[in-house]
């Protein structure tokens, strides 16, 4: 190409399909174990029972949208307690930051649902279509009957897994055994089928077809974690100080006999072909690396075969790469200011949530002043305001609450439609795990001096357990 000429390069290049090869080793075994654990928890958790007493659902984890409740074993979250979810999200973020500070994208490599399901889908693909070489060969050849049935079986299995994944998801929103029966007899609510269809499609598309593209282009975490990491975080690293120059075993022997340098890397590309992201870790630390460690397994196997020290590729830090360059010994510092801060924040948020849970009230009260009219003067000259009161009972049994009010001298309270009283206080029974709305009338005698607005305090006392809840509002006068 002469000076001035421009090459006609395409703006976008189609991504090359990745055919990860199977590998064995400790990191692969760890990935299998976590995969089984994560999938078992996801698919089976909705069937786990938890006895909460009569009138309450016995599903251990249940997002009961119809009744505005979330049940998690012994914890029951009401709509007004959604801040627990905020706390959980904040804690999850700090846990992710801590994992990143200790070992980079370790979450991506082992626990992210995208990784777990992609691994499962790859195992299915290998089962029907063989390992890397076989799959590449098959894809490069014309279609045959053998290819047809293998691909059909793979896609049917993928769709079945995707369907199970969507099916398990909806079981978290209703009583699982009942919903399974309804789904099997086509009597389940339409929304259940819609959600199953959506999740079937997304699982099949993301884990079966898009795979590493999701981690590279769709997920924001790689960019965020790159901004959060530091030189002391462990990352899968190629020891180029030991591996380069890369030469074959034979060539290395000759070079060494001549006193010339030869690295331990034999350039066999095993670390590249097993990589689910399709990258070469020997090119240095990369944003696309999910830290799965499979290249470590592959290289260790090669090193064992050629009789060299393992860990040519290993979890290491950028700081150690520099230390080795300077001839210093590597140092590992998982405990440092950054990790301590994250750990402290996790303990703080987790502790605050636990404390809040342990000390939270099992009753609640709220009032809303009626606007039309704001006040009424009665025949005897006394002043009356009306309120809508909501009483909450978070316990699994019916509780009687005695209502009282304090504020201006002689103030009294009356609950409309409630005749039971104790010490002149109206008694309102609230059913188990529910709330009750009542209309209350607050009256101040005519001889009590009143301002235009004064604070009054409503109190509801549980006659059995003794729990007392209060709220404030205003009493309005002319």
Residues lying near ligand SF4 in the complex (CB under 6 A) are found at 236, 243, 265-271, 274-275, 277, 279, 281-282, 289-295, 298-299, 302, 312-313
| Shortest spacing between CB 24 and ligand SF4, in angstroms | 14
CB of 118 to ligand SF4, least distance (A): 12
CB of 39 to ligand SF4, least distance (A): 20
What is the rounded CA–CA span in Å between residue 149 and residue 332? 51
Closest to ligand SF4 by CB, 124 vs 275, is 275
The residue whose two tokens read 């980079």 is: 104
Q: Residue 39 and residue 210: Cα distance in Å, rounded?
A: 20
Nearer to ligand SF4, 100 or 270 (CB): 270
Please, what's the b/e burial string for 217-255 (b: 16 or more CB within 10 A of its CB; e: otherwise)? eeeebbeebeebbeebbbbbbbbbeebeebbeeeebeee
Q: How far is Cα 331 from Cα 443, in angstroms, rounded to an integer? A: 75
**Least distance CB 253 / ligand SF4 (angstroms):** 15
In the complex, the smallest distance separating the C-beta of residue 157 from ligand SF4, rounded to whole angstroms, is 25
Structure tokens at 202: 């997304």
Indicate the DSSP class of residue 269: -
DSSP codes joined into one string, 84-106: HHHHHHHHHHHHHHHHHHHHTTH
Could you tell me the smallest distance in angstroms from the CB atom of residue 260 to ligand SF4?
19
Our CB check for ligand SF4 shows the closer of 174 and 294 to be: 294
The smaller minimum CB distance to ligand SF4, of residues 281 and 460, is found at 281
Nearer to ligand SF4, 133 or 470 (CB): 133
Q: Pick from 412, 394, 395: which is nearest to 403 by CA?
A: 412
| Closest separation in Å from C-beta 242 to ligand SF4 | 10
Three-state secondary structure call for residue 393: strand
At its nearest, how many Å lie between ligand SF4 and the CB of residue 298? 5
Does an H or E element contain 403, and which?
strand 399-406
Q: Report the alpha-carbon distance of residue 188 to residue 185 in Å, rounded.
A: 8
CB of 199 to ligand SF4, least distance (A): 26
- Which residue, chain included where needed, has tokens 């509801």? 460
Q: Which is nearer to ligand SF4, 76 or 212 (CB)?
A: 212
Q: For residues 293 and 407, which CB has a smaller minimum distance to ligand SF4 in the complex?
A: 293
Cis amide linkage into residue 54, ω under 30° from 0: no
Adjacent-strand bridge partners of 458: 405, 471
Kindly tell me which of 57 and 243 has the beta carbon lying closer to ligand SF4. Answer: 243
> What's the chain's length in residues?
478
Q: How many angstroms separate the CA atoms of 113 and 123, rounded?
A: 15
Closer CB to ligand SF4, 71 or 117, in the complex: 117
Smallest separation, CB 312 to ligand SF4 (Å): 5
**232 CB-near residues (< 8 Å, 6+ apart):** 317, 318, 319, 333, 336, 338
Nearer to ligand SF4 by C-beta: 170 or 295? 295
Tell me the sheet residues that pair with 169: none
Q: How many other CB atoms are found less than 10 A from the CB of residue 16?
A: 7
Q: 110 near 294, Cβ under 8 Å?
A: no
């Amino acid at each position: 190409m002469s000076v001035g000429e421009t090459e006609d390069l395409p703006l976008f290049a189609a991504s090359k399909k990745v055919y990860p090869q199977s590998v064995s080793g400790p990191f692969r075994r760890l990935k299998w174990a976590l995969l089984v654990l994560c999938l078992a928890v996801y698919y089976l958790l909705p069937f786990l029972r938890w006895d909460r007493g009569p009138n309450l659902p016995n599903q251990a984890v249940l997002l009961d949208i119809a009744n505005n409740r979330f049940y998690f074993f012994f914890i029951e979250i009401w709509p007004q307690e959604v801040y627990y979810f905020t706390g959980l999200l904040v804690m999850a973020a700090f846990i992710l930051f801590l994992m990143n500070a200790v070992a980079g994208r370790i979450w991506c490599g082992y626990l992210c649902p995208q990784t777990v399901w992609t691994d499962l889908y790859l195992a299915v693909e290998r089962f029907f279509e063989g390992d890397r070489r076989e799959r590449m060969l098959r894809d490069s050849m014309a279609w045959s009957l053998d290819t047809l049935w293998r691909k059909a079986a793979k896609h049917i299995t993928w769709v079945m897994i995707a369907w199970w994944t969507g099916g398990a998801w909806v079981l978290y929103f209703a009583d699982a055994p009942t919903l399974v029966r309804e789904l099997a007899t086509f009597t389940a609510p339409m929304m259940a089928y819609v959600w199953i269809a959506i999740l079937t499609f997304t699982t099949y598309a993301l884990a079966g077809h898009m795979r590493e593209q999701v981690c590279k282009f769709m997920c924001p975490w790689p960019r965020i974690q790159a901004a959060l990491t530091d030189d002391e975080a462990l990352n899968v690293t190629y020891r180029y100080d030991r591996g380069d120059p890369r030469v074959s075993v034979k060539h290395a022997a000759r070079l060494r006999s001549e006193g010339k340098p030869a690295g331990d890397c034999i350039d066999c590309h095993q670390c590249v072909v097993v990589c689910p992201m399709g990258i070469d870790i020997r090119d240095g630390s990369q944003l696309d690396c999910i830290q799965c460690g499979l290249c470590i397994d592959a290289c260790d196997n090669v090193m064992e075969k050629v009789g060299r020290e393992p860990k040519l590729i290993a979890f290491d830090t950028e700081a150690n790469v520099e230390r080795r360059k300077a001839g210093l010994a590597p140092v590992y510092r998982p405990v440092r200011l950054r990790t301590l801060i994250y750990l402290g924040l996790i303990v703080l948020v987790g502790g605050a949530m636990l404390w809040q849970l342990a000390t939270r009230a099992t009753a609640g009260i709220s009032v809303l002043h009626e606007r039309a009219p704001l006040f009424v003067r009665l025949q005897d000259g006394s002043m009356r305001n009306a309120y809508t009161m909501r009483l909450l009972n978070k316990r699994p049994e019916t509780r009687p609450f005695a209502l009282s009010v304090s504020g201006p001298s002689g103030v009294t309270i009356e609950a409309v439609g409630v005749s039971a009283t104790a010490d002149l206080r109206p008694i309102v029974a609230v059913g188990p795990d529910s709330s009750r709305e009542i209309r209350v009338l607050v009256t101040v005698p005519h001889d009590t001096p009143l301002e235009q607005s004064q604070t009054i305090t409503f109190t509801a006392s549980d006659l059995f357990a003794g729990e007392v809840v209060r709220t404030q509002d205003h009493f309005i006068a002319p």
